Structure 1
């Protein structure tokens, strides 16, 4: 995933200008770079300090030669290189496709046909290397790029420049323990037979998702590689004999790459024909994404001199314009570096720059963020002030953060903050919901085709939004008996089913006694409505929500609902029939405070914003209540991770509760800063810290130390984790920003 340049990254290497970082480590850095003519390359460098060692320079030159040997068919073609420069560099083609480890993470273990085609192609790559007396020495999933035309082997020792933290040195050998050959692990000579051993390990990983000798500490892996039998569980039976021979501890008994290729695949068909659809879609997304990357350079840390960067104007290349087709508009960059706004008015036309909420660009905030972009609030001239205050809830969809801003849905690359698409203005009354990989557009309501307002209503309709381009498909189903969609009532998608609140009757911007209201479940793969359940009438007053939050767990649609009298109820429905299983009023809960995703596990619904309570999903009864142990205490919104519920307690700070019993596991130490704790912002939980909002800062509290460790300046009041990007995404104060997740 590309990341911004740092303040001290060089301005250029020869004719190549870096525009983003692709990876960095102790040996060097890999950049995405472009020439003045627009050619995009991957540019690999060696740190100047390491380059002072003549042996390191010689090795860099030899590895550059190896990349040339493998050529463009099986590797990233070498475009240019200067191994004698003060900072040696190598420019290769930028390969369009994910590394094999990311491909398996995205799609799961590959089908046998994919593994066979992959293995045969890699045999060709290694055969070409070995025919020139070159061995790779570090073949592993992250060094194999999967493209639509076949795999490409990269990083001939330069993987160390790409910053692979799993590398270790054993004797004179360098490699990755999980994919080393036994002879390499013991410091002996690694020959072409060692590459065959590593290739078999790679194919085991591709077929199963795990290396043949498991995971763990380097010393344990090195021992197992030398003495333990490989774990071939999950490998298709037809592949076991060939891969078993390649994993023989004795290098002289291993087959050649030619023999292995002939036992894997007959060479028929195109390589893309053997790849899963999800992997092909990811390759297509990457092909589009690379044309949307523009240079971003992080400022120098406080107290350090900054390195002035040369501004690079945004260019709309022919290919980039084509890639945004299908009606998807691309946001316009604002004049301030790192600050973007977007918005607009329905009715078509070219996208125009839209000012921020005060009709001018806001100054860039002095945040501790990896990136920040300015956003306008969701805006509709027909919303009442009450409805306009509804929070836009960002969602994670693949590599993107998707959210409403202005009157449009926007796709933002989590790793860079780059806005890659801005949705069509399809209808005046529309909203979306999403799961981890897809976005559903739900439209209905007043037909404005003949003026600003008529009484003609349009049926509820469902369409897909392409997560790559933001373009909306034609509706795949319409329901003529449902013609009104209240704001923010496309509740959720779960297990391929959309849950939505919709109505029928006279169209109005307010609820009317003559209207009828329902919650419906729709199978989004077929468009078939599974059930429709009636809801109680609403008061005839300015619009309010029926459902404040929703989620599906254990065969139940769990919702937080606002009743006619303004009280908040937790309600569970059977997802098969829509029947209400239980309905519990939540005393002391303000409707506006729970307009966030519900927090559940297999046993409980967890409710904060007052007393922290766990309701049993089976019957809605109270399993535990923080007020029973600490009467009068007020808690904020909860977060759940690994059997622990985290919530901010007013005047104290973070408290961790056992999810099953409600027992307090720990309370934050040294909570002097906790007096500013924000009860309206739910914590988010990483692997080492739990993060909570206090005043203008997001504080990280150690999961082991239970004490505040560091903080980030933020305007946000909503936070979510984008695990793939390793970021905390913050929305609020007219900015979307990303912070490092630790």
Structure 2
């Protein structure tokens, strides 16, 4: 649990302010940190003595690489890092949940059902590492965080690439003795099978509260690991043969992670449904407590024995609040902190975060009004009437699909860094956790039929693999675009949601006889998880089936375009594809603006149109609505904790009303911009929210409205675009304005 900073801890590392300590060991210290925008992070550092050793720095760089490989689904997503700093550091998302050892200590051993689900989740995590030729080498209960969405593996301090040279001395055994593999205990090559051995030890611990080789001195434990038989007393009988195979002394006889996962769990149900109530309560408590952490620091040692530190500097326990928490379906605040590039509104005015870290302008000569963009990129047709109107972004590149080509732009100046020939358009792309996905004709041909597949590209534009998904039959083309009607609706983890179908060969648009379905498929195997029919299109229609989509917990939330500009909100169960609820999206005059990102938090969907409305995700019930008479843009929602509408702020632009902030729980107006000149306020796109300003178009200018203080116009920029997005990496923060033939970048503050 967090503890106060010591008197000699730094105030900040990189751009991140330190708030509390999470722990310290032989290699370094882990802190709770916050960004200038108020985002809570875990920040790991190296002790000076370790950083002075080149081998220590190499290990740290390898740890960062391994953390990036496992990603945010199975580990703590890497937000930022500087392994070359005087004090090397690594910043990751703050994972909400207890380490497995604390979970078992506080809530007792897990049930067989929970152990099986835990094991399957850890198999998926290790499988992700092993497919990238990385082994963990130190899997143990304290390196596993139990969240509502599954276990996350952390601490890759001794992970390494399979086959790499050891960074340890010859004859040394590196790891934790109680959970080492026999080959690791004898300083032999530790392969993926060694991680499986350690995983079995972890599952024995989860099932009975102690590992398979007991407790004792390291030498005793190493001997038992090498020569002793595992102790399965207290482990459910059905698990014993499965775990015994994993704990075989011969690595060749152990199952792979995929084989083990199949023996442990059938994949049914959400992970949270398998957890005992006591553990769920602990996860929820931590989700609440993280927002109660206030910066505290212990007093420096007195100069003389008689010197007493002032009372204001004495150490105080961190404020926490234990509340009853068991969300419906187990949805807790984890997602609120997990997304890279998200922007947080802090309702707790502590003088920290909420944009106040950037209150001072970088230069007195900077033009604040009618300013030009930072850069402009011009290339053919950048927007169209079908796909998303904003670019896709990764950590350090802006990805722009443009017909038969895709471009990668440098965020510092908009210079094109690379170009790739493609056969896809905007609506057939997705970028998730810096992995680019492209829906396209598969290279795999079977019986003279060519299926639609998902192509994977890494951030260096290296083609990694392609998974065939389904055979669409004969499909039409428009302007030479193959598989035109196939639409990548959403990527979420290992699941792709796509609108696909078979069509007669015809020259233009959909045909009334075309049959299309919404399908969910596993991108690892190509297996279709479910398929649901979609309404048929009239002849010559060129409108795609979906305008926007988002996965929230167990719900797939979509805006589905019907005939004659009609739009319906359709919410489905992600496991079955069944419709949970649907309703019309009222007041839609032009569907194009609805291709902006959906405004959802963990419990509600917020929509614009004739009114600003909050709909409950569970059943579609309207929770509040603004008065009629004002047309609103699609809104943007910002959550400080993520699990409750009470912590959300909804931002929207009203026609003739201007830019406003509304309380997500009650629908009450928090504030509106101070400028009376709002007659040209554009409702054609959702506002972009920074840490200091909210951005929207008014007339020929992009306005930056203060999010705090008097809510006045702080800056304006010349624009020609109607749609906007944000871009953030460790060096750049930009508002991207996308026009028909050009993209402009503006500073995001």
Q: TM-score, normalised by structure 2?
A: 0.49
Higher Rg: 1
Which protein, 1 or 2, shows the higher relative CO under an 8 Å CA cutoff with sep ≥ 6?
A: 2
Give the structure-1-normalised TM-score.
0.50
